[in-house]
Structure 1
């Protein structure tokens, strides 16, 4: 198996997103969980101490694609839930109106 070295910026994207656990990040990035934990500690230390500024963040195309895919999935799920809620509201409205109609 050919392992590709991930940049610190790749990890930062996942940490800033805050949606995945370390185990999920390691699986998605194809790295060990221990490495993700190590990078998270490094990231937290830099966040607390604000030691280093990154004028330009460089992430791999794979990381960008994974984040965009997850964002679009959440958007699609959200749209589906909104649609279901709208249909349920309409159905309740029709049932309410029908309750006043005498047959």
Structure 2
């Protein structure tokens, strides 16, 4: 169990700013604070914090750029519908998509 998860945001800030504490503890407090503020990226296999959204779905900066490239390539007719793997991987999270449209790997 993480000893930081029961602390308030104010307590986490105090830990982060207290230079007399061990560096690793301060980093863990910063990570816990970020985990609370931003959810994790919903792209399968990506473990980074999601600071952006794509179709109301939390994604990280790198995945958002990849999704944008995939979308532009699709609409420029460089990709076939079945090649849109990233967009189909987050389709279950889209509120307007039906589950039957999701391509299962």
User: Structure 1 length normalisation: TM-score?
Assistant: 0.30
Using CA pairs under 8 Å that are at least 6 residues apart, name the structure with larger relative contact order, 1 or 2.
1
User: Structure 2 length normalisation: TM-score?
Assistant: 0.30
**Structure whose alpha-carbon radius of gyration is higher:** 1
Structure with the bigger percentage of strand: 2
